[in-house]
């Protein structure tokens, strides 16, 4: 077995950074400021990003008996995870201090979760994928309940843990059935088996594929496996909610694309119609329930369900047209969603989250930059040109039309129009109502402003000049071949 560690270099860098943060935290008194730990975390993430840039050579490498691969697909998602972790840490620095969350543990858990995500995107073996998934999940379970003074956070953590364990059972049983049918957990060998015996699959092999499908649907919050999303997102600390809605979702879609969309593509005819139903239900129910919310944070939770539906469209469409659209939309979704949660974080006060629409009232006059940024994020999530959300949705719906799923594209466009109702409601509150939260100034929370600025730049750039990112998305997806 080869011992080439190149495919694991970014994960190793982030893991070492997490261990450094934990070790350094032991030698800082409880009453001393721990901003240096955030600095170490950001430096480690930056070094990992530099390693990814060096590894972007276009050639594929593998390690540990082909169970982990280094390709542009894995590197693309690695950069998304590093971006999500960095923006989450930046927006958390002031938040964890005012809520008295243990900083060292918080930053380390963000990094450990990122390690699991990176390995998930590179996993070419079902057991490696499962171990990476649990590494990510356990860290996120704890992050959800990190605000010990909040009863909502403890409740959300317990709900997420119990529902996550339930979904993990589906995944593990599905892996066992697939192993029993094919004699391997390696994706290359399973794909070869499916191609060599296209009409002699045992029933339990198909059952194993559907169990994997259920497990993935839970992780992305697709209907009817979405019930945990609103309560968990609402109860978790706000920066953690942003991290979950972007990074955890991206990790699940990375695994879904590699395992189900590409390696298990012979199964596509079996699950195409059920997945079509799930996609429509996820988009529609997410948008309808988001309209009824009085909390912006809870609205964004239901919005993330709707966006999971949009992201499922390329999965339904298949490899030929859907791959590039899936990756590009995940990249655009990362910037606008993390930016929206960073603005939401800036409104919070000690022991008072400030998450309702009324808390945004008058923000356009109190904190003009934050209000302008939030307006851009809301318009982008709704799909207004020339922002990143419009470009991402355009290519998602275009992929459906090109693949002959015109009805799916029309339903997606109608759902996108429906979402305008609740996104514009935030903008109306900021500029046409009085009262509300004051929001942090740049002196009070400079790192939140930095996170928001980065998200604004990404949202504008990917909307106005998407060419290079689209080309990178295309090359990344087809590197799976």
| Confidence at 264, pLDDT banded by 50, 70, 90 | low
pLDDT of 328 strictly over 60: yes
| Of 3 and 309, the one with more pLDDT | 309
For residue range 378-394, list pLDDT tens digits in order: 999 999 989 999 999 99
pLDDT band at 20 (very low <50, low <70, confident <90, very high): very high
- 152 domain-assigned: yes
Confidence of residue 148 (pLDDT cuts 50, 70, 90): confident
> Does residue 111 sit within a domain?
yes
Please say if the pLDDT value at position 204 is more than 80.
no
- What average pLDDT does the chain have? 87
| Whole-number pLDDT of residue 66 | 76
Q: Residue 279's pLDDT is what? A: 92
Q: Is the pLDDT of residue 262 over 80?
A: no
Q: Structurally, how many domains does the chain consist of? A: 1
Taking only the tens place, the pLDDT of each residue in 276-308 is 899 999 999 999 999 999 889 999 999 999 999
Give the residue numbers spanning the domain of 384. 6-478
pLDDT higher than 80, residue 480? no
Neighbours of 417 (CB within 10 A): 12
Cα 23 to Cα 27, 106, 210, 253, distances in angstroms: 7, 13, 43, 33
The answer on pLDDT for 265 being more than 70 is no
The rounded distance, in Å, linking the Cα atoms of 391 and 466 is 8
Per-residue pLDDT averaged across 173-181, rounded? 88
Q: Considering only 196-205, 427-436, 471-480, which range has the smallest mean pLDDT?
A: 196-205
**Minimum mean pLDDT among 12-26, 90-104, 131-145: which range?**
90-104
The pLDDT tens digits for 62-84 are 777 778 888 888 899 999 999 99
- Assigned domain for 87 exists: yes
266 has pLDDT over 90 = no
Share of the chain above pLDDT 70, in %: 93
2, pLDDT greater than 60: no
Across 152-162, average pLDDT: 87
Asked if residue 95 is part of any domain, the answer here is yes
Q: Name the least confident of 131-140, 176-185, 285-294.
A: 176-185
In a domain, 1, yes or no: no
Average pLDDT over residues 358-364: 87
The verdict on residue 301 lying in a domain is yes
Task: Among 82-86, 146-150, 310-314, name the one with the lowest average pLDDT.
Answer: 146-150
Query: Does residue 462 belong to any structural domain of this protein?
Result: yes
Residue 19 has pLDDT above 90, yes or no: yes
Q: Does pLDDT of 228 surpass 70?
A: yes
């Amino acid at each position: 077995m080869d011992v080439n560690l190149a495919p694991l270099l970014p994960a190793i860098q982030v893991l070492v950074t997490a261990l450094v943060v934990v070790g350094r935290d032991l030698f800082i008194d409880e009453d001393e400021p721990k901003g240096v730990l955030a600095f170490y975390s950001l430096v480690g993430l930056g070094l990992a990003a530099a390693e990814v840039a060096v590894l972007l050579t276009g050639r594929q490498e593998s390690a540990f008996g082909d169970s982990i691969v280094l390709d542009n697909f894995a590197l693309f998602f690695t950069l998304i995870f590093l971006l999500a972790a960095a923006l989450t840490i930046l927006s958390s620095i002031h938040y964890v201090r005012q809520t008295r969350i243990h900083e060292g543990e918080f930053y380390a858990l963000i990094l450990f979760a990122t390690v699991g995500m990176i390995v998930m995107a590179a996993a070419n073996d079902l057991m490696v994928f499962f171990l990476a998934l649990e590494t990510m999940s356990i860290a996120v379970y704890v992050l959800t309940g990190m605000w010990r003074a909040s009863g909502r956070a403890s409740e959300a953590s317990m709900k997420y843990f119990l529902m996550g364990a339930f979904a993990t059972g589906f995944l593990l049983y599905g892996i066992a059935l697939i192993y029993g049918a094919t004699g391997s957990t390696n994706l290359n060998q399973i794909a070869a088996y499916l191609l060599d015996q296209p009409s002699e699959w045992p029933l339990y092999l198909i059952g194993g594929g559907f169990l994997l499908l259920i497990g993935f649907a839970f992780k992305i919050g697709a209907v009817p496996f979405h019930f945990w999303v609103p309560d968990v997102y609402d109860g978790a600390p706000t920066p953690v909610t942003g991290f979950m809605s972007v990074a955890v979702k991206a990790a699940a879609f990375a695994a879904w694309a590699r395992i189900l969309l590409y390696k298990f593509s012979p199964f596509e005819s079996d699950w195409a119609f059920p997945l079509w139903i799930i996609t429509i239900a996820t988009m529609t129910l997410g948008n309808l329930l988001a309209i009824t919310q009085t909390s912006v944070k809870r609205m964004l939770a239901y919005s993330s369900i709707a966006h999971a539906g949009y992201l499922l469209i390329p999965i339904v469409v298949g490899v030929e047209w859907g791959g590039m659209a899936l990756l590009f939309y995940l990249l655009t979704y990362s910037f606008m969603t993390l930016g929206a949660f960073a603005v939401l974080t800036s409104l919070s006060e000690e022991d008072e989250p400030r998450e309702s629409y009324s808390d945004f009232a008058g923000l356009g006059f109190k904190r003009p930059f934050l209000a302008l940024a939030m307006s851009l994020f809301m318009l982008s999530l709704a799909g207004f040109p020339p922002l990143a959300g419009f470009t991402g949705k355009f290519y998602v719906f275009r992929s459906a039309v090109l693949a002959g799923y015109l009805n799916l594209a029309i339903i997606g466009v109608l759902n996108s129009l429906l979402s305008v109702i609740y996104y514009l409601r935030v903008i109306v509150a900021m500029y046409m109502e009085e009262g509300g939260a004051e929001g942090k100034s740049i002196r009070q929370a400079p790192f939140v402003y930095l996170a928001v600025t980065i998200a604004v730049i990404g949202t504008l750039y990917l909307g106005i000049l998407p060419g290079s990112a689209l080309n990178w998305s295309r090359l990344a997806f087809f590197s799976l071949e």
